[in-house]
Structure 1
Amino acid sequence: MFRALTLAALLTTPALADEVWDSDIGAFVYEAETDGAAVFSFRNFDGYQATLVIPGLAGNFDNRGVHEAFWIGKGPGYCLGSMSYNAQSGNQWGRALLQFDKPNYPTSFTLLMGDCFDPLSYSVRAIIR
């Protein structure tokens, strides 16, 4: 009985890289979990590679909702200060707000983003593969 429950739990929990979403700007990929944060990779609107960090989302596959986040890109950027995260730093970064459609995996999301400390001013829709 225990073996069957363990197998069922493993089959219903996605592997990190198995979570991939498609959007108008390209794919979002759930890459890693660090210090309780989920880390997604994506290409920003300017085409440069970027990282989205969502504190508190690590390991959360059944109680997703609205999550405050931040992003940092590899492009030239224009923020007055530099931000760094996991050996990536630069003047291209900002705040973000991630809203999942449903609380359970798998689900799509809408991402609102802003540059630097500016208000959230643009959005992207991402559909689960």
Structure 2
Amino acid sequence: MSVRRVVPNLPVDSGPDPEGTAGAMRANAAFYGLLGFEEVMNQGWIMTLAPPAEPTAQISFMSADLTAPVTPDVSVEVADVNAAHTALVRAGAEIVYGPHDEEWGVRRFFVRDPNGRIVNVLSHR
């Protein structure tokens, strides 16, 4: 199995911010920008940041996954999502979503790890 990147999906808490999720996303972008991160994707409900010199060193902020039944804790990009799915199903892992082709160009599924965390396993199409 070939892993291409691992991205933590941090929950966004808009708290008392009157701008809600958008304001919380901007605040995170500004804070992590001080560490050298720049926005590489923003769909409103998920924003991903990466340093320009290391584009696979990423961190995502998510209010909720708007296209799946649960919000994943971490994303793992693999070379072959179908092979990963087959291996996990054969091992008896609990698949909680997918596989599904998403409109933004990835094929993915969610699996529950031994600690109960949800892992988003994906490949770009």
* TM over 0.5, shorter chain: no
Greater fraction of residues in helix: 2
Which structure has more relative contact order (CA 8 Å, sep 6+)? It is 2
Greater fraction of residues in strand: 1
User: Normalising by structure 1, what TM-score?
Assistant: 0.27
User: Normalising by structure 2, what TM-score?
Assistant: 0.27
